[in-house]
Amino acid sequence: MKEFKYKLEKYKGRTTRHECPHCHTYQSFVRYVDERGNYISDNVGRCNREDKCGYHLTPSEYFKDKGIDYTPTIHVAPKPLPPTDYIPEEMMVRSLNTDNNFIHFLTKYFPLIDVARAIDRYRIGDHKEGRVIYWQIDREDRIRTGKIMLYDPVTGKRAKNVKNSFDWVHRHVKSPYQLSQCLYGLHLVKKSTTPLAVVESEKSAIIASLTIPEYTWVATGGKQNYRLLEALRGHDVTLFPDLGAYHDWTKYATKYGFKVSNLLEQVATDEERRDGLDIADYIIKQMKNEK
């Protein structure tokens, strides 16, 4: 954060206004002060009689005349952010049912017992009108927020252009709410005995976990949430980017020392690239073909 090192002195009574060194009018001259409130010099300042006098000697001009290097700004420590807010646990517990469109879609392809285990592991919640809640739970089991989404129960695709198809739980808890997001599934990392796999969407993490249990699957929850990967430093991590995102994810894999899978890039058709398919799309596509 930058702040000007020298400022015109704030008015705090007559003692903060002085005789102008140019027109000699009493109490018309405002001096520059440094960050500690000290005057630079008696003649460094600005006359308030701009039309009739116009005297204005700035700190930079003063130091230049003196042959002194001028530093116009200083760096000050940014103000600390307010403490992070959390969702009450009982709100999440009340949502742990099985009556949402996303769960209905999963039961078309996976055994009920496996879906039930996924609900328990990822704390998949219900919301009104068939919407699902993806709870963001951190390593300490604190609930940062919940992402509310609506899916088509048949296709499993996001329901777009539908009222209330996307929302956040924290918006209905308090205002203002100090949100600090975390990876979806981060609470699973501390107990994980398998390598970690990262995808973009929460849906992909859940579907992949049902078919490729050799990994513990987590999700960034968005294309630009790369900063959340910081929490996985030091772990055995492989990134599984959506089609079209391979090069961007490779940059961050290098930054954090992670591996990145090019599996989708190797098998994708031109049409699939245009559609930006992810690993969940391929899993469901394969299961349809097997049926």
Whole-angstrom Cα distance, residue 255 to residue 117?
Answer: 34
Mean pLDDT in residue range 112-124: 96
Mean pLDDT in residue range 173-186: 95
Q: What pTM was estimated for this model as a whole?
A: 0.73
Together in a domain, 91 and 42: no
Tell me: pLDDT of 169 over 90: yes
Mean pLDDT in residue range 241-260: 92
What pLDDT was estimated at residue 214? Answer: 96
Least confident span in 70-79, 140-149, 237-246, 269-278? 70-79
Three-state helix/strand/coil letters over the chain? CEEECCEECCCCCHHHCECCCCCCCCCCEEEEECCCCCECCCCCEEECCCCCCCCECCHHHHHHHHCCCCCCEEECCCCCCCCCCCECHHHHHHCCCCCCHHHHHHCCCCCHHHHHHHHHHHCEEECHHHCEEEEEECCCCCEEEEEEECECCCCCCECCCCCCCEEEHHHHCCCCCCCCCCCECHHHHHHCCCCEEEECCHHHHHHHHHHCCCCEEEECCCCCCHHHHHHHCCCCEEECCCCCCHHHHHHHHHHHCCEECCHHHHHCCHHHHHHCCCHHHHHHHHHHHHC
Together in a domain, 107 and 153: yes
Together in a domain, 222 and 291: yes
Q: Per the structure, how many domains does the chain have? A: 3
What pLDDT was estimated at residue 146? Answer: 97
Q: Domain holding 220: CATH number?
A: 3.40.1360
Together in a domain, 62 and 99: no
| pLDDT tens string 188-227 | 999 899 999 999 999 999 999 999 999 999 999 988 888 9
Report the share of the chain in percent with pLDDT over 70: 95
What pLDDT was estimated at residue 1? Answer: 46
Residue ending a domain, among 182, 205, 231, is: 182
| pLDDT tens string 260-274 | 999 899 988 888 888
Mean pLDDT in residue range 74-86: 77
Whole-angstrom Cα distance, residue 286 to residue 241?
Answer: 18
Mean pLDDT in residue range 161-190: 94
Together in a domain, 177 and 194: no
Q: Which residue has the tokens 């130091």?
A: 63
What pLDDT was estimated at residue 291? Answer: 66
| pLDDT tens string 54-70 | 899 998 888 888 777 66
The parent domain of residue 224 ranges over 187-291
Together in a domain, 144 and 224: no
Residue ending a domain, among 30, 60, 75, is: 75
Residue ending a domain, among 182, 210, 235, is: 182
Mean pLDDT in residue range 232-242: 95
| Beta pairing partners, 46 | 30, 56
* Closest C-alpha to 259, from 203, 172, 197: 197
Q: Which residue has the tokens 């559609």?
A: 275
Whole-angstrom Cα distance, residue 278 to residue 223?
Answer: 12
Together in a domain, 201 and 289: yes
Q: How confident is the model at residue 46 (pLDDT cuts 50, 70, 90)?
A: very high
Together in a domain, 143 and 220: no
What is the residue-averaged pLDDT of the chain?
Answer: 90
